Chain A
Amino acid sequence: MSGYDRALSVFSPDGHVFQVEYALEAVKRGTCAVGVKGRDVVVLGCERRSALKLHDPRTTPSKLCAVDDHITLCFAGLNADARVLVDRARLEAQNHRINLADPASVEYITKHIAGLQQRYTQSGGVRPFGISTLIGGFDPQSDKPNLYHTEPSGIFSSWKANAIGRSSKTVHELLDKLWEEDMDEQKTVELAVKSLLEVVQTGNQNIEVAVLRPNKEMEVLADDYLDEIVRRIEDEKAKEAEEKQSRRRHDD
């Protein structure tokens, strides 16, 4: 051990704050989460760890957390850290309503969360939050979709589509290739599901998807509807593979 990773608020000589980098490592090991912006919709999706047979799944909170009526957050990393962070965000959302008599904007909540995460990289006796978040939603009286990303270091940024957590790199590449301007709701949902399927092994049972629309509360997609989308995407994939194979045979 170099010694520079013992106390949080100490730089290593080459300018690294190791604890923050370790936190990013925890994020990389977390289950995958995806956010995609459409024309007038934001879709957030995440991997759901399959529950053991005897485990009561109700006690495991979903990774899609409503922060307020119009803002939803999903995360990758340590579930326990997320709980605390999300509760702080919810409190801030309600505080904003009381103090300003208006719902908070998505950017405001993002800044608040990122600010909190930053504080935990510069204080004594604490460790950083081991989570990255994707925050989606619509500002009050606005049809413009918002999607933000925050990191343990306190960085935040706005995205058209983004993925965090395990194998997020692969998903990123897919999103880069397939994301386009002005997607309708169905297309956006399909893209989100498709990118999640890249990561999740056992298909439909292990993903959760929420659709956010302007001036509405989020809708978590029902299992059978999700099944239908997954089946459609898998059929498409199978057909493509078949075509590829037949073409190859043709070439031979």
Chain B
Amino acid sequence: MDILLGIRTQNEVLLITSRSLARGISVLKSDDVKVLECNKHTALAFSGEPGDTTNFVEFIRANVRLYGFQNKQELTTHAVASYARKELATSLRSRKPYQVNILVAGHNGTPELHWIDYLGTNVTLPYAAHGYASYYVLSTLDRWWTETLTLEEGLELARKCIDELEKRMPIDFKGCNIHVVDQNGVRLHE
């Protein structure tokens, strides 16, 4: 039920994630952050089985960082996405696969957004969503997204999506965090 939404604009990528952390019928936390800085210019947004998610993304981050130190060369966003996909695909064929869906957002000269699900599907997209939220926001994004969105326009589009979710989603997801990934790195937008 977590909301995971990514929008690529002209110079940055926006990651919109819900703040609620629910287990069963209870909300445990209403200021949850579902985005992890992987290296300086790449962020991972994640949802799925709690526990699996943190374990998986921290594993990915540790290996990406290790690669950076060993080779004095940080992995590109594309490489991070390929690596994460490979790990998910390997895990899928094990006795107990990770149930994790992720969005990989990064900026290496140009902004980049990858949609990866627990089955090991990796697609590069201009905008993407995981889970139930995708049913509500994809039409909005289809209508309003353009190649030349500025940051402000992107945020406005994100607002449109969140409004739609608040209107149509049957659950209270406690609002959303918006992370911006641009040439300066990853930051939480107020």
Contact = CB atoms under 8 A, between A and B. Distances in A.
A66 interface: yes
Interface string A79-110: 00000000100110111011000000000000
B62 A98 contact: yes
- The SS class assigned to the B binding surface is helix
Given A98-B58, A98-B59, A87 B65 contact: no
Contact of B62 (A66, A87, A94): A94
Interface residues of B, number: 9
A139 interface: no
B65 A94 contact: yes
B58 A94 contact: no
Contact of A91 (B58, B59, B66): B66
A47 interface: no
Interface string B53-86: 0000011001101100110100000000000000
A98 B70 CA distance: 17
Contacts of A93: 69
Which of B65, B69, B70 counts the most A-chain CB atoms under 10 A from its CB?
B69
A67 interface: yes
A68 interface: yes
Secondary structure of the A contact surface, majority rule: helix
A135 B63 CA distance: 23
A61 B71 CA distance: 10
A94 B67 CA distance: 10
Given A94-B65, A97-B62, A97-B65, 17 more contacts: A61-B72, A66-B69, A67-B69, A68-B69, A87-B70, A90-B66, A90-B69, A90-B70, A91-B66, A93-B69, A94-B62, A94-B63, A94-B66, A94-B69, A98-B58, A98-B59, A98-B62
Interface of A: 61, 66-68, 87, 90-91, 93-95, 97-98
21 contacts: A61-B72, A66-B69, A67-B69, A68-B69, A87-B70, A90-B66, A90-B69, A90-B70, A91-B66, A93-B69, A94-B62, A94-B63, A94-B65, A94-B66, A94-B69, A95-B62, A97-B62, A97-B65, A98-B58, A98-B59, A98-B62
Interface of B: 58-59, 62-63, 65-66, 69-70, 72
Closest 7 CB pairs of A and B: A94-B62, A94-B66, A90-B69, A98-B62, A98-B58, A66-B69, A94-B65
